[in-house]
Structure formats: structure tokens, C-alpha cells
Amino acid sequence: MYTAKIYVTYKPSIVDPQGEVIQAALQRMNYQGISSVTQGKYFEVNLAAPNVAAAKNEVANFTDALLINQNTETYRFELVSTDDEVQA
Amino acid sequence: MKAAVITFPGSNCDLDLFHALADLDFEPTVVSAQTTDLSNYDAIFLPGGFSYGDYLRSGAIARFAPVMAAVSQAAADGKIVVGICNGFQILTEAGLLPGQLFGNEQPGFICDEVDLLIDNSNTTYTNAYADSRIKIPIAHGEGNYYVDSATLAEMEANHQIVFRYADNPNGSVANIAGVMNLAGNVFGMMPHPERAVDAITGNTDGHPFFKSILQTLGMAVGRK
Amino acid sequence: MTTSRLKELTPQQILDSKLYLQWGLTEEEYQLIVTELDRLPNFTETGIFSGMWSEHVSYKKSKAVLRKFWSQNERVLQGPGEGAGILDIGDHQAVVFKAESHNHPSFVEPYEGAATGVGGILRDIFSMGAQPIAVLDSLRFGELNNAHTKHLVDGVVAGIAGYGNAIGIPTVGGEMAFDDVYAGNPLVNVMAVGLMDQATMQVGQAKGVGNAIIYVGAKTGRDGMNGASFASAEFSSQEKADRAAVQVGDPFLEKLVMDTTLMAIRDHADIIVGIQDMGAAGLLSSSAEMADKAGMGIELNLDLVPQRETGMIPYELMLSESQERMLLVVKAGQESKILDLFRENNLDAQMIGTVTDNGRYVLNFQDKVVADLPLRFLTHPLEPKLAEQKPKRLENFIKSQYQPDVSDLTATIKQLIGQTTIASKASLFRHFDSMVRADTVIKPGGDASLVRIRGTKKALAMTTDVNGRYLYLDPKKGGQMAVAEAARNIVATGALPIGITDCLNFGSPDNPEVYYELNQAVAGINSMAKLLNTPVISGNVSLYNETDGQPIYPTPMIGMVGLLADVEQALTIGFKKASDLIYLVGATKDSFTGTEIQKMQTGKITGQLFDFNAEDELAAQKLVLQANQAGYLASAHDLAEGGLAVALLEASFTGHLGFKIQTQLPAKYLFSETPSRFIVTVPASCQSAFEALAGKQAQYLGTVVDSDDLQLETSEEIVHLSRAELQKIYQESITWQLKD
């Protein structure tokens, strides 16, 4: 078993109005050092796959198909094997 | 003219659209998103609402509903496919129309009546309008239309922009409120013409929208 | 598998630790339970009593007052005691409505608190078999001068929008006011209105031995557990940090539950015996109340309850307030039709028990009986006798009316029009979808909202109203005036008031002064309701709205519905065309104590409230209704906070027209809040007919003009005001105050 931790954000060229509103609020609250805020989405998907390469392939496929809109969003992910935990 | 109004789980303007179509002499049927055959219908309407809760992204889940293969087929066959509000979002997610609808520039849902400018009066959706400026209700939190500049230039050149906001309420690029595909048979808009077909609720500017579609298909229009 | 964080104490440990006190039961109540059961209650049973005997569920402290409400007339099909009340509106149709408060949850978590408030009241409506057609919100917050209040306003507005817009029921109206007394106790009252064919009427009853108890909707989790009843000793600090006391709503799921429930009622009315929403105290109160109303017993198998979390114990399963859940009673042997229908729509549906005839409330869990209680006893807690005492402030008030300083009329108007109570709330209401369903005739911003009934000529008018300041100065008169003003709102649309729901928002009833206010307010509401023939058919009580011993103003929100026979006769507040004649219906008196101008000029509300005359009220309403039916009126607007000045300006702003007014009164009377008044406009062609009908009841004020200029002539001076300038203040004031 694997757990994929997938982080979706807008592509750099896309305006992120929610991120901008949050940034403005933080600056109003006197958090001086903040230069930018990006709001994104985070997914945790548990999946079975024969090996790491197959799991990576699967994650990339379903993320492209559903989790992101390829016009405007991009993503990165981490893959963790959960087999150790299952046995413990 | 037989019209299908597709109801997805979470659609909430399906009946409003049904009534508008019925009152304007279409023969509408509300059709479940489980349906896989739309071959009996001359026009397909995707209504407003929050399909599948609009979870993930507006329209992103609906785009994989069983009915969408038939919607794509109808579009490919040249039938009229109209998406209003959430229906527009579904059509962009499905790739049947260019672009994407983002959260409003000023985050939050807006319900209002806004002025639209008819950018192309020679379309299936606008040919019955006498005026080039109309008032149509909007009700959305994610109506901020985005398309990259190259695609926008193509769309402008091909007169695919049908409606623009007179006073942009949501941050849409080029003030876009409604667009069609290159062939002109697939159309989407954020404003709700089906809420503007009855004098008693204060606005009839949506009436010519539906009349245009009927007229295009060579049918007479008249109120029952 | 996770296990419950709650440790189930033994009956003896409960006795020794006095856990029941922490759960809100009194010593007397606990002893009564022990005596009745002839044994110590176990952990689950103690939790059951704490839930069922809470004020929120049992109304034990307010029942004596609520019984006084007048709730029967020729229209009433269902009075108080069910999910919502029902009135006959002819053509075999009925209107269903109720209001509910979600004050405390909205203070703790404004978005979810408000959202689930909308969800809960909608379930009350569709559980009766009615299609919800409209929602209204009555909101009270502290002044907009601090970040926390702004956070509450933003969250509550977003929560109502997030839920109501998604489920597709229009938010057609309501009202909002701001006062420091609500800073620690904001009020979030939601009213919902539904429409039904009388044939599909349902009630929440569990009749018929052997009939199935069916659970439908969302799964049960630990969310919404009554946070207050958890003793901190039972939790480690880490566990405390992540327990969830506030419910989270899912409007998408609720839409599926609503549509499927209404479909079940339409297609299977013959096999559905009863339906009830799982609201406060969740599965517990819904199952116990349904069995009690039918005089039956009930037996549930808790292992069958659909669960979202693992390791839940009976106490949690019974008291969870997870949202979007319903309980149905279905005829024995017919269960599968209902189960299949809900499952086809991707909803959980499970038969979890049966109706019995032994009058017992029995719960089984993991092959053991975990509760076995006499049902009638469980649903009828002691009603404590509460002391009442007239608040001292009422004795000490100065008798003479406050006299405002209006030495500069223009400046006073400019200042008044920007006050939060007066200024336009459109910038907040525009977040609500007021038009979905395409039946909204009068949108937010009118005196009352109006929703047409498709396929008929009829329309339903609806409003929420109350001015807590008036009740603070005189709870009884204030109660009368709240009903009177709600009725004026309805009448100003041309509709006939037909019924009332309420949310009685008060401080602690254990405080004799608060209990006096509650009694007096109800007496006032009742007397006016009878005069108007508007029975009180449903309602809700929210007590303990106080911070550091300082209660809110007594705020009994009145939700009223009216019936307009012909929607073409609908009246709106805005001026319609130049040269229409403007009349004031009702006399203007020396009524300044408790008014907006007193608050604005002195910063507080104090003194003896001005007079209210019920006969004048009825006469004014009758005149407006008659004049409209005769076709004499172009517009109508009721006078409220800010008096004649504000009413004229609102009619002018809405109609985008100016006015030229002349009155013999001194300028300060423009701000008098004498009740029982309207402004109406009359086309010149109807002048003599209207004047003949109105006689001395209406006073000619002037005309509508097609200009930006607003001319006001009093006995003292003539002023010219700019409509554009005032309208900008009126429309933008709230937005400015919400920023930074």
C-alpha cells in the first residue's frame, strides 16, 4: 500500500484571488515578512500498486485526469509506502 | 423542438430552465445524468447549480457523469448544447468550450442583475435580440472566466465572444460573460436567462435568448 | 480501530462523581430518575436524560409560557408541536413555515453555525412533506467597530450563502441590525417557508406496532456532540484539543436527502407513517419524540446505525448532532421500497428498529440492552417554577419622551442614513441567491419578500422583524409592536397577514427579570396576533443569551407569512413615476424614546417607550389593503426605524425618483417612530377616490418628482437634498464599516 500526498496549486501565471486576499489580511495583521501567499489543495490518496514506479504512474494519471484542471493548475506529489505501518 | 435539461446530483436550476423552455414552446424533458443516450433531442441544456457539490472544482466531477459522453457526441453531431452557470463550468471542464471559470476576483457569491453587451448578434443565441444591451441575473461564486491570451485572440478573431459584462462583476478576462465554440453550436454563459422570462418576476430580457435558439432551428415561437 | 475517548462510568461512579451535574441535570432531576427507575441509571441512560431534559430539547423552562400562544384558527392545519406549522391557503395547497435560532453555534464557528442553521430549518420543512421555497434570515450582531464582530458577520453571511445557495432554495429576505448588546451573543435566526399539497402532509409520529424505524441520510459521527456536557476530567488535554463540538454541514448531501424524501412522500405516501428531522440531540430526541407523540414505545439496534467513525459508544450515537439525517417510520413489510429509493440516490438508509406498544424506550448495542426507560417519563421532565420580577430599569425610566436635537436637518439626515441599523444591507444580502427557483417577485430590500406560487395567481409574502430596543423599554408593548410591524411589512406588499412563527431570543430564564420579559413579550405578541387573526403556529426558544450576566435585549423575532390572492396586485416600496401623490397613512406623534435618533444622538436607549395603539394599527393596515385592492396605490412602504425621513428616502432610492414634500410638523417629527404608519403613492387619477376612502387617516405630503432633488419643507424651513449623495451614504456605509 502507498499513500500519495498530492499538492495542487495554480500555475505561476494564474491569478490566485484567494491567496491575494489572505496575503492582504496577513499584512494588515502586521505579519511584515510575508511576500506572497499561494492557496492550493492537498490530497491524500491511499492506493495499492505492485511497485513504486507503477504507483507513481497511477498517481500522475488520475491527477491529470481529475484532480487538476491542466489549463491552470499544476501539482507535485510525494509517495510513502505504508506497508510497514500495516504490519506493525 | 425537443430539449433535454440534464439534471446532475446537485443541479438546482434544472426546473427553472425546464419552465422557461416549456413556456417558450420547447418540448423539454428533465433527463438524469445517468442517461447515456440523447439522440432523441434537438438541443441539450446543462443547468445551473452545484453539481456534485461543486467539490474539487466547479463542474470537475460532473464532467465524468455518464451522460457526458452523449453530450460530447451531441456537440460533435452539431446539435445545440447550452450550459448556463454551472452548466458552463461543466462544459469548460469537459473541454467542449475553451477556458475555465475561477473564483470571483472579489471572493464570494454574488446575486445581482447585471447589464450584458451583445458582442455578436448573429448567433444561435442572440439573433432575436433587438437591443445590444440587456439585463440578466447573475448568481455565482466562480464566474471569473479565464483563458490564455493566445486562445482569447483566436476567439475574438472568430467572433466566439457572445456576451460581455458592461460592468465586470467577477474579474472575467475581456469582460466575458458568454462564449461559443468555433462551430457555434456549443455555448456557455454565467448569467441566468431562464430567470428573466417572466414579467411578474421583473425581467423578460432572457426571452429573446430562448427565442433565438428556436428561430435558428426554424421553429415559430409564441407563448402558450 | 479507534475507540471512544469517553470512558463509560458505572452507575455507582456516576452517582459518586456527580457526572450528571456536569451534564446539566439537577440533583432533583437525578433523584427523580433514580426513584422512577428504582435503580441507578447507567452511563447511556444518564446521557439520554441529560439530552432529553435539556432546555434546548424539552423547553421545560419555557413551556409554561409557550402554552399561552394562540395557535388555532380556520386556516391552521398543524399548530405547534411538529417540525413546522401548516396553514391552509386554498386550492388544496398549504404553506408550511418555521424559524429556528442557531445563535451559539454561530458564535463559536460562524460559517458552519449559520450554514447548519439553514440546513436544520429546511429539514423541518421538508419533513412535513413540503417543498421549501424560501429562506429568510434575521441577524443581530455587535456594532461594526471591532474585528471580531466583522469576522462573525463575514462568517455568518458566507455560511448562509454557502448552504442556501448550494441547496437551491432562495434567501429572499430577512433583516440585520447591530447593537453592542449582541456583541457576545449574536443572533442567527433562520426562517424557512415551504409549499405543499394538503394531501402529502406528514407528521413526526411513530404509530403502529411492528412498523419499521428507518434511518436515512448522512452517517453518524462525533461531530456536533453537545460540547457543554463533556466534563473536562474525561479528556486528556490532547483529546480535548481535537474534539469537535460544532456540526459541519453538507448542502449537497442535504439536497439529495430533500429531493429523495419529497420523492418518497410523493410516491409512497401510503406506507410512510411519520418523518422527523434529527435535530437537537439527534437520533435520541427524534426517535423518542416520534414514539411519544404516538403514545407508543420504540426499540432500536444501535449496531445498525450508519457510522462515519469507528468505536462510537451508544451515548455518542444517540447524542451526535451530525447533519443531514432523517428518521422515517414505515409500515412493516414495506421497508425495502423506501430503503431502495434512498440507496438508489447514493444515500445511507438502514432499518434500525421497530415501533413497540409497551411505552418503553429501549436501546440495544452489541447484543446488550444499554437503555430501557419509560418513554413518557423521559419526554416529560419536571417544569421548574420560575420566579419573575419586573426589571428595576422599567420602574426608573423617565416618563417624558426624549427630544432630539434637529437644529441642522440636512446634517441629521446624512448622519442617520449611514447608521448601521438604517443603511442598506444590500452589500451583504447580494451574497445570497435570492432568485433561484425563479419565483421571487419581491427580492431583499422590500418591506416583505414575495414569492409567487407557480400555476396559480397567488403569492406568499414573508418577513422577519423585531426591534429589541422597544422590548428593552417595554417588553409587552414591544412584543405587540413586533407583530404589528411584521404585519405592516406584509400589508405593504398588498398581502393579507395569515400566520406567525417566532424565535424567542432571551437571556437566562433563571433570572427573574428575564423571565418577566419573556412572559410579557409573549403576552404582547399573543394579544396582537389575535387581533390580526395571525395564529402562532410554530417557533423556537433560545435562552441564556447573555455574557457576564448581561443579557441581550429581549428579542422575540417574529416571522410572518401573508397571502396575496392576485400577484398582479403586488405593491413595492419604490416610487413609481413623477407626479404620483405621496400620502402618509397614520398620525405622527411625539415618539422619540427608543428610536434610532435617540441611539444616534445619545449613544443609548433609555426612557419610557412611546404609545402603541392596536386600533390605529388595524385601521392603517385595513386602509392600505383596501386602497390597493381598489387599485388606487402605486407603492407602499411601512414606517419603522428612522421614521418618515428614512421611509421617504428609501422609496426615493428604490424608485430612482425624487420628491417634494411639505408638512406642518417641525423637523424633528421626521424622525419620530410612531407606529402604525405607511407612506403610499397614488396616481393623480386616483386622488379623489383614495382621499374619499382614506378620510382623515391619510395626510397629503407632496409629490414624486423626476429629479435628483429632494425637497423637504417643515414648519421651520425648506431644505434641498441630493438623492445621489444620500444614496451613496446609504448604500456604502456598511461596506465602509466592514473594511479594516
DSSP symbols for C560-587: EEEEES-GGG---SS--STTPEEEEES-
Residues C313 and C302: their CA atoms lie apart, in Å, by 9
Mean pLDDT to the nearest integer, C66-95: 93
**pLDDT value at C264 more than 70:** yes
Which of these, B39, B45, B47, B49, lies nearest to B10 by C-alpha position?
A: B49
Q: Where are the domains of chain A?
A: 2-87
Query: Which residues face C583 on adjacent strands?
Result: C680, C700
Range of the domain at C647: 581-738
Q: How many CA atoms lie within 13 A of A49 on its CB side?
A: 19
Pairing, β C581-585 against β C546-547: unpaired
Q: Band of the pLDDT at C499, cuts 50, 70, 90?
A: very high
**Residue B180 DSSP SS3:** strand
Instruction: Return the percentage of chain B with pLDDT > 70, whole number.
Output: 97
Residues C141 and C553: their CA atoms lie apart, in Å, by 12
Residues B214 and B208: their CA atoms lie apart, in Å, by 10
Residues C370 and A41: their CA atoms lie apart, in Å, by 43
Which of these, C694, C688, C588, C566, lies nearest to C648 by C-alpha position?
A: C588
**pLDDT value at C239 more than 60:** no
Q: Band of the pLDDT at B218, cuts 50, 70, 90?
A: confident
Report the domain count for chain C.
Answer: 1
Query: Which residues face B138 on adjacent strands?
Result: B112
pLDDT in tens, C310-333: 899 999 999 998 999 999 999 999
For chain B, give me the number of helices (H) and strands (E)? 5, 11
pLDDT in tens, C647-659: 999 999 999 999 9
pLDDT in tens, C4-39: 667 889 999 999 999 999 889 999 999 999 999 999
**pLDDT value at C252 more than 50:** yes
Instruction: Tell me what pLDDT residue C245 has.
Output: 61
Q: Band of the pLDDT at C235, cuts 50, 70, 90?
A: very low
**pLDDT value at C225 more than 80:** no
pLDDT in tens, A40-83: 999 999 999 999 999 999 999 999 999 998 888 999 999 999 87
For chain A, give me the number of helices (H) and strands (E)? 3, 3
Q: Where are the domains of chain B?
A: 2-216
Instruction: Tell me what pLDDT residue C226 has.
Output: 56
When mean pLDDT is compared across C546-550, C598-602, C697-701, the lowest value belongs to C546-550
pLDDT in tens, C347-395: 999 999 999 999 999 999 999 999 999 999 999 999 999 999 999 999 9
Q: From the CA of A75, how many Å to the nearest CA of chain B?
A: 14
Instruction: Tell me what pLDDT residue B224 has.
Output: 34
Q: From the CA of B142, how many Å to the nearest CA of chain A?
A: 11
Query: Which residues face A10 on adjacent strands?
Result: A73
Q: Is residue C351 part of a domain?
A: no
Which of these, C214, C203, C168, C201, lies nearest to C82 by C-alpha position?
A: C203
Residues C656 and A42: their CA atoms lie apart, in Å, by 49
CA angle C114, C115, C120 (to 5 degrees): 95
Q: The domain spanning residue C588 has which CATH number?
A: 3.90.650.10
Q: Is residue C590 part of a domain?
A: yes
> Hey, which bits of B86-182 come out as E strands?
100-102, 110-118, 133-140, 144-146, 161-165, 176-180
**pLDDT value at C701 more than 60:** yes
Instruction: Tell me what pLDDT residue C232 has.
Output: 30
Which of these, B89, B85, B88, B93, lies nearest to B64 by C-alpha position?
A: B93
Interface test mutation site (partner B, options A66, A70, A73, max chain B beta carbons within 10 A) = A66
Residue B151 phi/psi, 5° resolution? -65, -40
pLDDT in tens, C422-468: 999 999 999 999 999 999 999 999 999 999 999 999 999 999 999 99
Instruction: Tell me what pLDDT residue B27 has.
Output: 95
Q: Band of the pLDDT at B4, cuts 50, 70, 90?
A: very high
**pLDDT value at A13 more than 70:** yes
How many other β-carbons are positioned within 10 Å of the β-carbon of residue C371?
Answer: 26
Residues C127 and C83: their CA atoms lie apart, in Å, by 7
Chain C positions touching B191 (Cβ under 8 A) are none
Order of strands, edge to edge, in the sheet holding C171-178?
Answer: C76-78, C85-88, C93-101, C187-197, C131-141, C171-178
Instruction: Tell me what pLDDT residue C463 has.
Output: 98
Residues C78 and C501: their CA atoms lie apart, in Å, by 12
Mean pLDDT to the nearest integer, C264-290: 92
pLDDT in tens, B79-97: 999 999 999 999 999 999 9
Q: Which CATH number does the domain A2-87 belong to among 3.40.50.300, 1.10.260.40, 3.30.1280.10, 3.30.420.130?
A: 3.30.1280.10
Chain B positions touching A69 (Cβ under 8 A) are 57, 60, 93, 100
**pLDDT value at C230 more than 60:** no
Mean pLDDT to the nearest integer, C502-523: 97
Length of chain A as a residue count: 88
Instruction: Tell me what pLDDT residue C234 has.
Output: 38
Minimum Cα–Cα distance from C432: chain B residue? B111
Residues C191 and C171: their CA atoms lie apart, in Å, by 10
Instruction: Tell me what pLDDT residue C559 has.
Output: 98
Look at C436 and B13 and tell me if their CB atoms are within 8 Å: yes
Asked if C341 and C278 count as a contact pair (C-beta separation under 8 A), the reply is no
**Residue C501 DSSP SS3:** strand
**Is C656 noted as a catalytic residue in this protein?**
no
Query: Which residues face C82 on adjacent strands?
Result: C80
The string of DSSP codes covering C355-404 is EESS-EEEEEETTEEEEEEEHHHHT------------HHHHH--SSPP--
Interface test mutation site (partner A, options B102, B142, B145, max chain A beta carbons within 10 A) = B102
Q: Is residue C479 part of a domain?
A: no
pLDDT in tens, B44-88: 999 999 999 999 899 999 999 999 999 999 999 999 999 999 999
Interface test mutation site (partner A, options B52, B90, B100, B110, max chain A beta carbons within 10 A) = B100
Mean pLDDT to the nearest integer, C709-716: 96
**Is C102 noted as a catalytic residue in this protein?**
yes
- Which residue in the block uniquely carries the three cell numbers 458552519? C112
Residues C555 and C132: their CA atoms lie apart, in Å, by 26
Look at B104 and A67 and tell me if their CB atoms are within 8 Å: no
Q: Is residue C113 part of a domain?
A: no
Look at B141 and C167 and tell me if their CB atoms are within 8 Å: no
Length of chain C as a residue count: 740
Residues A56 and C8: their CA atoms lie apart, in Å, by 46
Tell me if ipTM is over 0.90.
Answer: yes
Which chains, if any, share at least 3 CB pairs under 8 A with chain C?
B
The closest CB to that of C433, out of B15, B109, B202, belongs to B109
Q: Which CATH number does the domain B2-216 belong to among 3.40.50.10240, 1.10.10.10, 3.40.190.170, 3.40.50.880?
A: 3.40.50.880
Chain C positions touching B200 (Cβ under 8 A) are 441, 452, 567-568, 570
Minimum Cα–Cα distance from C571: chain B residue? B200
Intra-chain end-to-end CA distance of chain C, in Å:
47
**pLDDT value at B134 more than 70:** yes
Chain A positions touching B104 (Cβ under 8 A) are 17
When mean pLDDT is compared across A17-31, C426-440, C610-624, the lowest value belongs to A17-31
Please give the grid coordinates belonging to residue C577.
413615476
pLDDT in tens, B161-212: 999 999 999 999 999 999 999 999 999 999 999 999 999 999 999 999 999 9
Burial code of A58-68, b = ≥16 C-beta within 10 A, e = fewer?
bbeeebeeebb
Q: Is residue C233 part of a domain?
A: no
Q: From the CA of A86, how many Å to the nearest CA of chain B?
A: 29
Residues 6+ apart with CB under 8 A from B21: B3, B5, B28, B45, B194, B210
Q: What is the mean pLDDT of chain C?
A: 93
**pLDDT value at B24 more than 70:** yes
Pairing, β C348-356 against β C272-277: unpaired
Q: Band of the pLDDT at C231, cuts 50, 70, 90?
A: very low
Instruction: Tell me what pLDDT residue C131 has.
Output: 97
pLDDT in tens, B139-152: 999 999 999 999 99
Q: Is residue C586 part of a domain?
A: yes
Instruction: Tell me what pLDDT residue C566 has.
Output: 97
Mean pLDDT to the nearest integer, C55-68: 92
pLDDT in tens, C598-614: 999 999 999 999 999 99
